[in-house]
Amino acid sequence: MPRDGTATRERILDVAERLMTDQGYNATSLDQVIAASDSSKGAFFHHFRSKSDLALQLVERYVRADLAHLEEGLAAVADIDDPAARAVAFVRHFEDGADELMAAQSGCLYATVLAERELVGTEIDAQIAKATVAWRDAFADLLRPALAAAPRHVVVDAEHLADHLYTTFEGGFILCRTFTDPSLMRAQLQVFRQLLESLLTSGP
Amino acid sequence: MPRDGTATRERILDVAERLMTDQGYNATSLDQVIAASDSSKGAFFHHFRSKSDLALQLVERYVRADLAHLEEGLAAVADIDDPAARAVAFVRHFEDGADELMAAQSGCLYATVLAERELVGTEIDAQIAKATVAWRDAFADLLRPALAAAPRHVVVDAEHLADHLYTTFEGGFILCRTFTDPSLMRAQLQVFRQLLESLLTSGP
DNA sequence: TTCGTAACAGACCGTTTGGTCTGGTTTTAA
DNA sequence: TTAAAACCAGACCAAACGGTCTGTTACGAA
């Protein structure tokens, strides 16, 4: 076997992810990616069949990292016994990591590729939906016992409430971009955590 | 003064808004806009100096409609005396209009242009920020008395809480696109309304 | 040492892009 | 009636785009 190309491949993926989440999919040209990754046309098309193939491989890698973050969050609250406290702590875990998240990335790759209709209906969609469902299911499992044990009868749908975390993340990214202020992500996650705390712990 | 060209101009704007919110800014070519609006290169560049000028005029028009929706929502709840009930009804107003909104548009123009970094730092940014601040200020004014009169002492920041409506809208759009399900927008606004209701009305 | 193949490098190509330019048409004020 | 100005049509253009192709280099197996 000849020389190892995984380093080049990773470098291209890293650069492409940064550029595309920053500027958008179509706004990022392959020449730009190639130049920024100190690579070449030949190297690029050796590792990727096309630009949309790059997008797919990018999303697959992003999904893996996303699901890892989910597992990390679940593990961090697994030892909390009280259902309500556990669900709230789960959100707080990401609230605490918000600043770090925004320092690492200026947007979400999901929103980036979903903004371009040409990538919809492909394998990319399925990957994003898969990850989003994983978050919904996992968080809903935390929420259901908490909702059942709430001081007052709560009629909120657990899955829609679980989806609201994804909504807060995605909406938070856009809010941050609107005001060029990364700290607003933490603020929005905090608001959601406080709202959830009120729902799950306050009496009638 | 010669013949009236405002009809042509509006047709181009309508088509461009639909195509761009659907596919993205860079993914939408001028030729596509021109063809779909049954226009011509000459007509287009008579009304718009460039593609980015089109984006600016689109956003300006979108902001006007957006602020009109805000005023409409404020007017709808102006006669409600109880602060908490008024704030909740404000959110409910948009919850009720969610299905109609999603039938009219598949995304938000703000998110579309913010996704492309090349338009950031221009007048477009200022327009979007202006509209978003208007929503924040107006909603925060509704929230403050409601928070003060809440049964238990609430420490939630009024402006961040107000921003959460914008967050829910933008995040909701992306959630809808993730699952190709427009009904999720109403579900997310409902979740926010229920959370807010709990915060403002439930006891300690 | 040779040989095969993965890993590149970069010239090249057809198409599409945003934008220009020239010419023609409609409308109203004078 | 006419002149001017707004309105529009479409051929045209240079640049940038995604993608191909030919050639070269590095490295492990034989």
Strand partners, B203: A203
- Pair A178, B128: CB distance under 8 Å: yes
| pLDDT score recorded for residue B157 | 98
Confidence of residue A16 (pLDDT cuts 50, 70, 90): very high
Radius of gyration of chain A (CA): 19
The β-bridge partners of A203 are: B203
Quick check: A151 pLDDT over 90?
A: no
CA distances from B96 to A155, B114, B194 (A): 18, 27, 13
Q: Mind listing the pLDDT tens digit of every residue in chain B (204 residues)?
A: 567 889 999 999 999 999 999 999 999 999 999 999 999 999 999 999 999 999 999 999 999 999 999 999 999 999 999 999 999 999 999 999 999 999 999 999 999 999 998 888 789 999 999 999 999 999 999 999 999 998 888 899 999 999 999 999 999 999 999 999 999 999 999 999 999 999 999 877
Through-space separation of residue A150 CA and nucleotide C2 C1' in angstroms: 77
Residue B117: predicted pLDDT: 87
Residue A142 three-state SS: helix
Q: A interface mutation test: which of B20, B30, B164 has the most A CBs within 10 A? A: B164
Q: How distant is C1' of D23 from CA of A26, in Å?
A: 31
The percent of chain A in helix, strand and coil, each rounded to the nearest 5, is 75, 0, 25
| Token representation of residue A32 | 């730009």
Q: Could you tell me the two tokens for B141? A: 């004014």
- Of B49, B66, B84, nearest in space to B131 by CA: B66
Indicate if CB(A25) is under 7 A from strand D: no
Residue reference for tokens 């070449």: A40
- State the Cα–Cα distance between residues B9 and B120, nearest whole angstrom: 25
Rg (CA), chain B: 19
* Residue A1 scores a pLDDT above 70: no
Average pLDDT of the residues in A52-61: 97
In whole angstroms, what is the distance from residue B182 CA to residue A12 CA?
A: 35
Strand D: list positions under 7 Å from protein Cβ.
4-12, 16-23, 25-29
d(CA B122, CA A58): 30
What whole-number distance in Å separates Cα of residue B77 and Cα of residue A173? 30
List, for residues A168-194, the tens digit of each pLDDT value.
999 999 999 999 999 999 999 999 999
- How much is the pLDDT for B2? 63
Structure-token pair, residue B143: 């929230």
Rounded to 5 degrees, φ, ψ at B78 are: -60, -30
- Reading the block at residue B66, the tokens are 């957006």
Assign A141 a pLDDT band (cuts: 50, 70, 90).
Answer: very high
pLDDT at B1: 58
Q: What does the alpha-carbon distance between residue A152 and residue A202 come to, in Å, rounded to a whole number? A: 8
The amino acid sitting at A58 is L
Residues 6+ apart with CB under 8 A from B177: A114, A120, B106, B107
- The residues, any chain, with a CB within 8 Å of residue A102's CB and separated by 6 or more, are A176, A182, A183, A185, A186
- Got the DSSP string for A86-123? HHHHHHHHHHHTHHHHHHH-SS-HHHHHHTSGGGTTSH
Whether B168 and A170 lie within 8 Å, measured CB to CB: no
Percentage of residues in chain A with pLDDT exceeding 70?
Answer: 99
Question: Reduced to 3 states, what is the DSSP secondary structure of residue A203?
Answer: strand
Residue B115 has its nearest CB partner, among A112, A161, A184, at A112
Which nucleotide is closest, CA of B49 to its C1'? C19
CB A169 within 8 A of CB A193: no
A42: burial class by Cβ within 10 Å (0-12, 13-18, 19+)?
Answer: exposed
Check pLDDT > 70 for residue A164: yes
- Is B26's Cβ below 8 Å from some Cβ in A? yes
Do A203 and A151 form a contact (C-beta atoms < 8 A)? yes
- How far apart are the C-alpha atoms of A187 and A195, rounded to whole Å? 12
Instruction: Give dist(CA A21, CA A30) in Å, integer.
Output: 14
CB atoms within 10 A of CB B3: 6
Tell me what percent of the residues of chain A surpass a pLDDT of 90. 90
Q: Which residue has the tokens 């039938």?
A: B103
Task: Please indicate whether, in this complex, the C-beta atoms of A175 and B167 are within 8 angstroms of each other.
Answer: yes
Residue given tokens 């208007």 in the structure block: B134
Identify the residues numbered 52 to 111 in chain A whose C-beta atom is closer than 7 Å to any atom of strand D. 52
| DSSP letter string, B141-174 | HHHHHHHHT-SS-----HHHHHHHHHHHHHHHHH
The encoded tokens of residue B17 equal 């808004």
> A13-17, A153-157, B25-29: which range is least confident on average?
A153-157
Per-window interface: A 4-23 vs B, CB < 8 A: 22-23
Distance A9 CA to D27 C1' (A): 18
Assigned token pair, A79: 């030892």
Query: B175 touching A, CB under 8 A?
Result: yes
- Is some CB atom of chain A closer than 8 A to the CB atom of B195? yes
